[in-house]
Chains A and B, each alone.
Chain A
Amino acid sequence: MRTLVIEHLARVEGHGGITVELEGDTVGNVHFDVFEGARLLEPLVRGKRYDEVAPVLSRICAICSVAHSLTSLKATEDAFEVRISPQAELLRELLYLGENIESHALHLFLLALPDYLGYPSAIALAADKPDAVLRGLRLKKLGNLIQETIGGRAVHPVNAVAGGFGRAPSADQMIELRSALIAGIQDSGAVIDLMASLPGAEFCRCHTVYAALHSPHPHSYYGGQEVIVASDGGRSTVHAADYKMLSNEESVPHSHAKHSRFRGQPFMVGSLARLTVNPSRIAGKVALAAERLGLHLPADNPMDNNKAQALELIGDLERAGEVVEQLLREGIEDEPPAAVHSRAGTGTAITEAPRGLLIHSYTYDAEGRIAAADVITPTALNAASMEMHFRRAVEQCAHRDDALLGKRLEMIARAYDPCISCSVHLVRKR
């Protein structure tokens, strides 16, 4: 028997990334070990007052800090039955769009693109194709600008608070943002040109179940509390309060993340799932781009998540422009947040982080302090589906040399855009 290990995807030492066991032509165990999960995160917030929770949990990840912050606030507001104003809803939606634009630009241009074009890193790619890398950096910077303008800080936003917004952006800031978005929308055409020019990635095909938030607006990542699970043309609905039907966690000995299944089947979350569950997202320029990229839904290739991210990037830029226009047209009120009356209770929120469903569920005591917390990240939800796709890719690979298999598995892993919570950032010596 031989064992293939791809270690460096997991940043926490001792957690082995992807492991595949091969015995002749037979594929044995296929494991994805990810340092992730509620049991690691709950101790961070137990006993904290309701207004201390979001600032702590937003630090789980710099890339997903808006997602964690807003999902946390939404769960707290659910627990205390707080209703935020339409303006606050819109500002939160815009903040979320900023994070998605930033995250997708980083992923597509600096992480996935080198894989497709055979470069070991974005640095190597930049030497030959600086325009592509610079475009990615410009779009990422635009996403950051949205988050900084609305959230009040470049990372870990402070303006969004329980009940709404502590401080709304000024009209001048929004006018500046509008100009930047106009330039970004012009830049976005090249995203599809680039994606359409990439070589195919046809090495893993299988039936896949998808789960995503049912959005009240085609490009919303924040609103709504119902998840649709789509499989074989059927659709099942899961309300946020019943989220354990989705997380339905199963401990596996090889990973810190518990594995999730819906009615016994692994499911995929993220951009491809969002487009599958919410087909109204594919309209106008996005529909034209989908046709150009040859994306047909439901897809049976996890690599299509990269195409779905490109489509979302186009749609998000347009939607962000619309939200800014609406806020400028209607005028931004300097309104105080809705009053929050803490009490004993449980609240759950589901949103769409850039890489898929994010669930926060809290139980508060009578003093408004966390008695129990459950944080389920998209990467944890995806873990079982990733293992399934790794297995299929190995089974469908005719020439099983380690370099080829390793490259394909790494590309599939990256297509899922996994964000390892509590990731470390340190520099390592070789």
Chain B
Amino acid sequence: MKPQLVIGLGNPLMGDDGVGCRVAERLADDPRVPEDAEVICGGTDLFRYARQMEGRRRVVILDAIQDDAEPGSVAVLPEAGSGLDARQQHAHHLSAVQAIRLLEMTTPSRFLLLGISISSAGMDTGLSPALAARMPAILGRVLHELGRPPEDLRPL
């Protein structure tokens, strides 16, 4: 089992919301991904991968974030209580922030949430041109984070 698990979240039928999934698809075939990392293109439910998280040193989650930053910016997201919306937003889903908080109760793995800024999400099977153009930079930033040892990373 590889010590790092990378999960790209999002709905690829909802345009830029699917960016985490799209990045994971690209990483899955990218030789620059560290050998100690396994990449999964997930859907919108992080809990589905609870079993795959077992025994990992670090779980890296890629998800879209709607904020004021330039679309395509990648940020290591801070504490869920400091600006991220951890409310029960949806009648049937938990957000990545909520899911990580609960998963931390069941696994000793360290979690890292990388937010990829988007400006909006609507029904579309592709990314917006603005975000698609930023894909090489997004991949470079994510790969940089994957190459860093966990000790250097702020826990979520």
Give chain B residues whose Cβ lies under 8 Å from the Cβ of A144.
47-48, 50-51
Q: Are A413 and B65 in contact (CB under 8 A)?
A: no
Interface centre among B13, B87, B97, B115 (most CB of A within 10 A): B13
| B130 close to chain A: CB less than 8 A | no
CA distance A427 to B89 in the complex (A): 10
Number of A-B contacts (CB under 8 A): 170
- Chain A, interface residues (CB within 8 Å), range: 35 or more
Q: Are A429 and B9 in contact (CB under 8 A)?
A: no
Q: Are A154 and B91 in contact (CB under 8 A)?
A: no
- Stretch with Cβ within 8 A of B (4 or more), from A59-67, A220-228, A272-280: A59-67
Give chain B residues whose Cβ lies under 8 Å from the Cβ of A270.
none
Give chain A residues whose Cβ lies under 8 Å from the Cβ of B102.
110, 122-123, 126, 133, 137
Give chain A residues whose Cβ lies under 8 Å from the Cβ of B20.
425
Give chain B residues whose Cβ lies under 8 Å from the Cβ of A419.
91-92
Q: Are B66 and A141 in contact (CB under 8 A)?
A: no
- Stretch with Cβ within 8 A of A (4 or more), from B22-30, B78-86, B138-146, B147-155: B78-86
Q: Are A427 and B63 in contact (CB under 8 A)?
A: yes
Question: What are the interface flags for A398-421 relative to B under an 8 Å C-beta threshold, 1 for contact and 0 otherwise?
Answer: 000000000000000110111110
Interface centre among A11, A56, A110, A355 (most CB of B within 10 A): A11
Q: Are B98 and A123 in contact (CB under 8 A)?
A: yes
With A122-B102, A123-B102 in contact, is A427–B92 under 8 Å at CB?
Answer: no
A202-260 at interface with B (beta carbon < 8 Å): none
Q: Pick from A111, A121, A413: contact of B86, CB below 8 A.
A: A121
A119-134 at interface with B (beta carbon < 8 Å): 120-123, 126, 130, 133-134
B111-126 at interface with A (beta carbon < 8 Å): 113, 115, 118, 120-123, 125
Give chain A residues whose Cβ lies under 8 Å from the Cβ of B106.
134, 137
CA distance A156 to B125 in the complex (A): 16
Q: Pick from B10, B45, B118: contact of A155, CB below 8 A.
A: B45
Name the residue on B nearest A119 (C-beta).
Answer: B88
Q: Pick from A56, A111, A137, A420: contact of B50, CB below 8 A.
A: A137
Name the residue on B nearest A156 (C-beta).
Answer: B43
Give chain B residues whose Cβ lies under 8 Å from the Cβ of A426.
10, 17, 63-66, 118, 121
Q: Are B14 and A424 in contact (CB under 8 A)?
A: yes
Shortest 4 CB-CB distances between A and B: which pairs? A62-B43, A426-B64, A424-B17, A425-B44
User: Can you offer 9 A-B residue contacts whose CB atoms are under 8 A?
Assistant: A122-B94, A126-B101, A130-B105, A154-B52, A423-B93, A425-B9, A425-B17, A425-B93, A425-B96
